[in-house]
């Protein structure tokens, strides 16, 4: 099975900073990758699918890139409401594995 590795596991940044989270698949998954945001006590929310397509209603400061094994989620200007844990997920074939998550905090 394909393993998904996110880095870093946690990070702290200031409001207005550019933030990048990385997700690496152990095998090529072309662009079958999604990013989710989960705020404390809340249901996960889809941010990006197909590696770079922004889900409707998601602020444009979020963007995704990459293909094959390496992907990134970028927040262009961090806002206080972006405090959350972020997960990548592969969906090219089952099992639809999630990364271990990246916890983002405000400095």
Partner 1 sequence: EVQLVESGGVGVQPGGSLRLSCEATGFTFDDYAMHWVRQAPGKGLEWVSLITWDGGSTYYADSVKGRFTISRDNSKNSLYLQMNSLRAEDTALYYCAKDGDSSSSLVYWGQGTLVTVSS
The site for partner 1 (CB under 8 A) is made up of 1, 32, 34, 36, 38, 43-44, 46, 49-50, 55, 85, 87, 89, 91, 94-101
Min separation Cβ 12 and partner 1, Å = 19
Tokens linked to 30: 């072309």
Q: How far is Cα of residue 68 from the mean position of the Cα atoms in its chain? A: 15
Min separation Cβ 97 and partner 1, Å = 6
Min separation Cβ 28 and partner 1, Å = 17
Nearer to partner 1, 11 or 17 (CB): 11
Min separation Cβ 15 and partner 1, Å = 26
User: Could you tell me if 102 and 47 are in contact, meaning their C-beta atoms sit under 8 angstroms apart?
Assistant: no
Nearer to partner 1, 55 or 74 (CB): 55
Nearer to partner 1, 17 or 97 (CB): 97
User: Could you tell me if 63 and 54 are in contact, meaning their C-beta atoms sit under 8 angstroms apart?
Assistant: yes
Task: Please return the burial class of 98, using the count of CB atoms within 10 Å of its CB with bins 0-12, 13-18 and 19+.
Answer: middle
Pairing type for strands 102-106 and 84-90 reads: antiparallel
């Amino acid at each position: 099975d394909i393993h998904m590795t996110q880095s870093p596991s946690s990070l702290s940044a200031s409001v207005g900073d550019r933030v990048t989270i990385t997700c690496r698949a152990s095998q090529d998954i072309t662009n079958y990758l999604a990013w989710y945001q989960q705020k404390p006590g809340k249901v996960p929310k889809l941010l990006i699918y197909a590696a770079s397509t922004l889900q409707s209603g998601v602020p444009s400061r979020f963007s995704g890139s990459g293909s094959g094994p390496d992907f990134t989620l970028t927040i262009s200007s961090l806002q206080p409401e972006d405090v959350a844990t972020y997960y990548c997920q592969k969906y090219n074939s089952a099992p639809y594995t999630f990364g271990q998550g990246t916890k983002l905090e405000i400095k």
